[in-house]
Amino acid sequence: MTTAVSSYESLGLASASQRVKKNEIGQDDFLKLMTTQLQAQDPFKPMDSSQFLGQIAQFSQVSGLQALNTSFENLASSLSDNQTLQGASLVGREVLAASDRVTVAADGGAEGAIVVPQAGWLTLELVDASGQTVRQLDLGKQAAGVSDFSWDGLDANGAHVAAGNYSLRASLRGDDGSNIATSTYVSGLVRGVAPSSSGLQLDVTGLGSLSLSQVARIQ
C-alpha cells in the first residue's frame, strides 16, 4: 500500500484518502496532468501531435472563457455598485409611479396625478379595504394631458380616515356622456435605496418597495 501511495505522489497526484473534491480543473491541474501524460507515454508509440495540440487549444479556449466570465462578473458588480451610489441621490426626493392604491398614515394623505386621454369631467374616489368610498374628489373639467390631485386624508364628513391601504378610482366623463379609461399615479418620498437581483429598489412612502424602472417622474 505504501508503494502505491508513493507512486501516486510521484505523479503529482494524491491517494484516494487525500484527494480533495473540485468542481472544475484549474490551469495548474491541467499542466500537471499534461506533464504526467507526457512522462507516461510509450516512447515507441508517442502521442499524436495533433491530439496534443488539440488538448492545448481546448484548454486555452476554456481558460479564455473563464477569464471573460470573470471580467463580466467584475463589470456587472461595478455597474451595480455605481447604480446604487447614483440611486442614493434619490433619497429625500419625491417620485411619481403608476399605482391604483396608496398607503395612508394616521395623519397623512396622498398626492399624485391622473392621465387624461381627452377632455372631460374628472372625478377621483378614495376607497377603503372594505370597498366603501370614503371620499370623492370632483376635479372638474380637464383638458387632455395630466391632471394633478391632492387628498388631505379626510373622509366625506371631514374626519381623518384610519391609517391603511386605499384604492384610487378615477373616472373621466366625456362631452358625450361616455366613460373614458384613465390611469392613476401616486407621489411618494424616497426613504432609502437598496440593490437587488432585479435592479435598484426604492423604499417610497405610501407605495412601499418599487424598482427604479417603475418611476415615471422624479420631482
pLDDT digits (tens, 9 = 90+) for 45-68: 655 556 655 666 666 666 666 665
The answer to whether residues 155 and 195 belong to one domain is yes
* Domain end call among 31, 58, 87: 87
Has this prediction a pTM greater than 0.75?
Answer: no
Q: Which domain holds residue 46?
A: 22-87
- Give the tens place of pLDDT for each residue, 125-177: 999 999 999 999 999 999 999 999 999 999 999 999 999 999 999 999 998 88
Which run of H or E residues covers position 136?
strand 133-142
- Both 62 and 169 in one domain: the answer is no
pLDDT at 122: 96
CA distances from 147 to 13, 14, 115, 153, 183 (A): 75, 75, 6, 19, 11
Band (72; pLDDT cuts 50, 70, 90)? low
Distance CA 13, CA 189 (A): 62
Identify whether 13 is part of a domain.
no
CA dihedral 169, 175, 180, 183 (to 10 degrees): -60
Between CA 209 and CA 193 the distance in angstroms is 9
3-state secondary structure of 193: strand
The stretch 107-132 carries a mean pLDDT of 94
Question: What are the C-alpha distances in Å from 128 to residues 14, 42, 132, 209, 210?
Answer: 71, 85, 6, 21, 22
Q: Do 170 and 113 share a structural domain?
A: yes
> What does the pLDDT read at residue 90?
85
Report yes or no on 106 lying in a domain: yes
pLDDT tens-digit map of 5-39: 444 444 444 444 444 455 555 556 666 666 676 66
Question: Same domain for 158 and 188?
Answer: yes
Report how far residue 101's alpha carbon sits from residue 103's, in angstroms, rounded to the nearest whole number: 7
pLDDT of residue 13: 45
